[in-house]
Amino acid sequence: MNLIFLLLSTRQFLSKDQIREAIADYRADGDVAFNRKFERDKEELRELGIPVETGTHSQFGDEPGYRIPRESAELPELDLTPEESAVIGLATQVWEHAGLAGQSSAALLKLKAAGVDVDTSAVRMAEPRLSAEEPAFDAMWEAVTGRSEVQFAYAKAGEPSTTRRVQPWGILSWRGRWYMGGFDLDREAPRLFRLSRVEGEVRTVGARGGYEIPEDVTMQDLARSLFPPEPVGEAVLHVQRDRAVALRRSAVSVTRLDDRTDEVVVRYASPWQVAAEAASYGPDVVVHSPPEARQLTATLLRSALDAATLDPAS
Amino acid sequence: MSASARQVQRMLALVPYLQAQQGIPVDRVAQEFGVAPKVIRKDLMQLMFTGVGEYHGELIDVDLTALEEDGVVHLRDADFMTRPLRVTAREGAALIVALRTLRAAADAEQAAIIDGALAKLEHAVGGSVSAPVDVHVEPLDPQVRDAVSRSLAESRRLRIEYATASRDELTTRDVDPRRTFTQEGRLYLEAWCLRAEDLRFFRLDRMASAEVLDVPVDDHGVDPVDLRDGFFAGGDTGPSAVLDLDPTARWIVEYYGAEVLDDSADVWRVRLHGGDESWLRRLALRNAGSVRVVEPAALRAQVADHARSALRAYDGPVATDEEL
């Protein structure tokens, strides 16, 4: 603390000797102990994110001097509106991950110390929660924010694990799961990895800032495989009245056919998708077109019937 | 972060905070900083040994009489630090990703506020913030989302058409909204359901429509549910089924958290806990060919019945143009 206050209050660079002279705790130590303590404290300042500037002053000769430049160390004025302060307050409740919850509360304390009045009731909105239970998360978060190359063992479901070397470009949370997208150095292509499939330790093998993230890459592009594919056409289904609620909600049109049946038109990306969805509703949904989806549905239903009537013990 | 680093961080924020709020009760400080009052008292005692030098006027001074007698804090001789330190790149990244998460669940008006906060925050962070982190929340019907946030803001009752998770039916319910939250990337409404006469969670993407009624909400005298207790973790209750999975259906194990009973052969035998029987039946029909029900026999019979009666529609000739 004293080192921070001393370096913050000085305009001129202070030499190591001047610092030692000013702080009782350092003065009491011998040379070796002082040097060790001084290095440790400087490291602690770096970890707290406090910038220590080194420079020389003619009167020390070649010896380096130290100071904390006030303008870059102090929090600038933010001029947050009450609503903006409120959303920042809500944001500090988002993380359920202990480390990141701690980081965001530390930021909030600084804002409060700058006189920001945080009244979260000024805005009523959804309270999302973000957790990260994957053991690989912390190392991957560090790698992504620091741009360092990593190496880890990765196993797809039901397959043995392989070692992957990757330059992480970003991470993505989708349906409560975390994914890392980056450049796979062995496959020489962008790849997406699910963090829950990373086995064991994630080793950082490259220096911080060791590569550039291509500007035209977004995580949304990399993660395309997670999202539903683009529709290729429209399927016509005959649906029992009041049934298949979810299908009706995504329908392009719903037309009454007779007392019991509606014609429901939906967009589809593949005939397989139509068939699987229709089959899941059993007799409530009948596929009329496209013909290949109609045929696939019948095939699915037939194999369901065969499997369910077969004695499972045989 | 170590306890001592946390203490240093807190003390560095306390110095400018207390100077701006001279005479603030120590209990209030503790509340704002999220620690016990005795922690703040200890911090204050330690602060008195710090300063820019060792002489009177160079060390931070706390008015001990006021602290002991009135429980309020007066801080002097700390003008060398009147502003807090900058938000660090790490703190900034955590907060920015949290704000993006809020934004993903926000309506247009709220999103504009969040964008303003994000821009100002990025300016306040030392160095450049590198946070290549995306949080995806399922897109929603804007009409539903706006009605839900309006009913919360105005404390008015909401009428929703709701598709239940597994039973394939649409029900109309009047609910008294309490709050919204997201879980696993999906937005939920916690509300008192007048039909069930109990607190319920509703997924916003399952609301076919939502209408704000001209009725104020009732309190119903219930405590909010603490989601940290893992409300959604109770997946092991309700019916379950034993299934055989072909290699192409192994994703089910990871996706639904099925319990693997036997993976010594190509076909895996697993136990899957489902919301109810109709959900399990639909899963078996959807994945027919790669998923087979082993037990219970009643579920197998249901799958057979549904498949048999569905097939009747396909046994005849393929529909002609006139029929479409």
Looking up residue A54, the CATH number of its domain turns out to be: 1.10.10
In a domain, A238, yes or no: yes
A98 inside domain: yes
Would residue A131 count as lying in a domain?
no
Q: Which residues of A touch B227 (CB under 8 A)?
A: 129
On whether residue B320 sits in a domain, the answer given is no
Give A16's contacts (C-beta < 8 A, 6+ positions apart). A38, A63, A64, A66
Residue-wise pLDDT for B56-111, tens only, equals 778 889 999 999 999 999 998 888 888 898 888 888 888 988 998 888 878 888 89
A27 to chain B nearest CA, in Å? 12
Would you state the structure tokens that stand for residue A1, as one six-digit string?
A: 């603390």
- Specify the pLDDT at position B319: 41
Q: What is the pLDDT of residue A288?
A: 92
* A243 near B CB under 8 A: yes
Q: pLDDT of A194-209, one tens digit each?
A: 998 999 999 999 888 8
Position A65 confidence tier, pLDDT thresholds 50, 70, 90: confident
**Nearest-by-Cβ selection for B86 from A74, A92, A127:** A74
A281 interfaces chain B, CB cutoff of 8 Å: yes
Looking at the DSSP bridge assignments, the partners of residue B271 are B242, B259
Is the pLDDT higher at A135 or at B234? Answer: A135
* CATH code of B40's domain: 1.10.10
Number of domains in chain B: 4
**Are residues A237 and A302 located together in one domain of the fold?**
yes
The share of chain A scoring above pLDDT 90, in percent, equals: 26
Question: pLDDT-based confidence at A312, cuts 50/70/90?
Answer: low
Same domain, yes or no: B201 and B153:
yes
Residue to test with chain B: of A12, A127, A137, most B Cβ within 10 A: A127
Nearest CA in chain A to B31: A109
Among A179, A208, A226, which residue terminates a domain?
A226
Q: Which of B6, B50, B294 sits opposite A1 (nearest CB)?
A: B50
Q: Where among A195, A226, A257 does a domain terminate? A: A226
Count Cβ atoms within 10 A of the Cβ of residue A195 and give its class: 0-12 exposed, 13-18 middle, 19 or more buried.
buried
Asked if A293 and A245 sit in the same domain, the reply is yes
User: ipTM of the assembly?
Assistant: 0.74
Residue B244 belongs to domain spanning: 240-315
For residue A93, what is the DSSP state? T
Q: Is B79 on the interface with A (CB under 8 A)?
A: no
**Is A68 in the same domain as A87?**
no
Same domain flag for A222 and A240: no
Residue B143: predicted pLDDT = 83
Picking from A173, A193, A288 by the largest number of B CB atoms within 10 A of its own CB, the best residue to mutate is A173
Contacts of B181 in chain A (CB under 8 A): 126-129
Query: Residue B187 is part of a domain; what is its CATH number?
Result: 2.30.30
- Supply the pLDDT for residue B166: 63
Structure-model confidence comparison of residues B142 and A308, the more confident one: A308
- Asked if residue A300 is part of any domain, the answer here is yes
Residue A90 scores a pLDDT above 60: yes
Q: Does B81 touch chain A (CB under 8 A)?
A: yes
CA distance A313 to chain B (A): 8
Is B228 within a domain? no
CB contact under 8 A, A5 and B179: no
Q: Could you write out the DSSP letters of every residue in A123-153?
A: S---EE-B----TTHHHHHHHHHHT--EEEE
Chain B residues touching A171 at Cβ < 8 A: 132-134
Task: Enumerate the residues of chain B whose CB falls inside 8 A of the CB of residue A176.
Answer: 183-185
For residues B147 and B216, membership in a common domain is answered with: yes
- Position A13 in a domain: yes
In a shared domain, residues A213 and A244 = no
Which residues, given as ranges, of chain B have pLDDT below 70? 1, 126-131, 138-139, 165-167, 185, 222-238, 275, 316-324
Same domain? A248 vs A213:
no
Chain B residue numbers with beta carbons less than 8 Å from the beta carbon of A274 are none
pTM of the model: 0.70
CB-CB under 8 Å, A123 with B124: no
Most confident stretch, A8-12, A129-133, B11-15, B180-184: B11-15
Any A CB within 8 A of B88 CB: yes
In a domain, B83, yes or no: no
**3 state SS of A302:** helix
Name the residue with tokens 């602060």: B47
Q: Do B94 and A282 touch (CB under 8 A)?
A: no
Number of domains in chain A: 4
Chain A residues touching B313 at Cβ < 8 A: 238, 283, 286
- The domain boundary, picked from A94, A122, A150, lies at A122
Is there a single domain that holds both residue A169 and residue A184? yes
Distance (Å, rounded) from C-alpha A303 to C-alpha B6?
62
Identify from A213, A249, A306 which residue to disrupt to test chain B contact, counting B C-beta atoms within 10 A and taking the largest count: A249
Q: Identify all chain A residues contacting B287, using CB atoms and an 8 Å cutoff.
A: 276
One domain, residues A110 and A144: no
Residue recorded with tokens 């496959």: A187
In this predicted model, what pLDDT tens digit does every residue of A217-246 receive, in sequence order? 777 777 776 776 777 889 999 999 888 887
The pLDDT of residue A118: 84
Asked whether residue A127 is domain-assigned, the answer is no
Same domain for A141 and A214: yes
Among the ranges given (A150-164, A223-237, A273-287), the one the predictor scored with the smallest mean pLDDT: A223-237
The three-state (H, E, C) secondary structure of chain B, written as one string: CCHHHHHHHHHHHHHHHHHHCCCEEHHHHHHHHCCCHHHHHHHHHHHCCCECCCCCCCECEECHHHHHHHCEECEECCCCCCCCECECHHHHHHHHHHHHHHHHCCCHHHHHHHHHHHHHHHHHECCCCCCCEEEECCCCCHHHHHHHHHHHHHCEEEEEEEECCCCCCEEEEEEEEEEEEEECCEEEEEEEECCCCEEEEEEHHHEEEEEEEEEECCCCCCCCCCHHHCHHHCCCCCCEEEEEECHHHCHHHHHHCCEEEECCCCCEEEEEECCCHHHHHHHHHHCCCCEEEEECHHHHHHHHHHHHHHHHHHHCCCCCCCCC
Look at residue A35 and tell me if it is in a domain.
yes
Measure in Å the smallest separation between the Cα of A209 and chain B Cα atoms: 11
Which SS3 state, helix, strand or coil, does residue A252 take? coil
How confident is the model at residue A142, as a pLDDT? 86
Q: What are the backbone angles phi and psi of residue B20, rounded to the nearest 5°? A: -80, -20
Name the A residues in 253-272 with CB < 8 Å from any B CB.
none
Instruction: Kindly report the nearest CA distance between residue B68 and chain A, in angstroms.
Output: 23
Q: Does the CB of A282 have a partner CB in chain B at under 8 Å?
A: yes
Interface contacts A/B by beta carbons within 8 Å: 355
Tell whether A210 and A244 lie within a shared domain: no
Taking CB atoms and an 8 Å cutoff, what residues of chain B touch A83? 113
Q: Which A residues 94-133 touch B at CB under 8 Å?
A: 94-96, 99-115, 123-130
Cα separation, B318 vs B117, in Å, equals: 59
The CATH number linked to A267 is: 3.30.70
B117 touches chain A (CB under 8 A): yes
> Same domain, yes or no, for A64 and A86?
no
At A228 the three-state DSSP class reads: coil
Q: Considering only residues 217 to 256 of chain B, which have any Cβ-Cβ distance to chain A shorter than 8 Å?
A: 227-228, 244, 247, 250-251, 253-254
Residue range of the domain that includes A37: 2-73
Query: Is B95 found in the same domain as B50?
Result: no
Of B93, B134, B250, the CB nearest to A158: B250
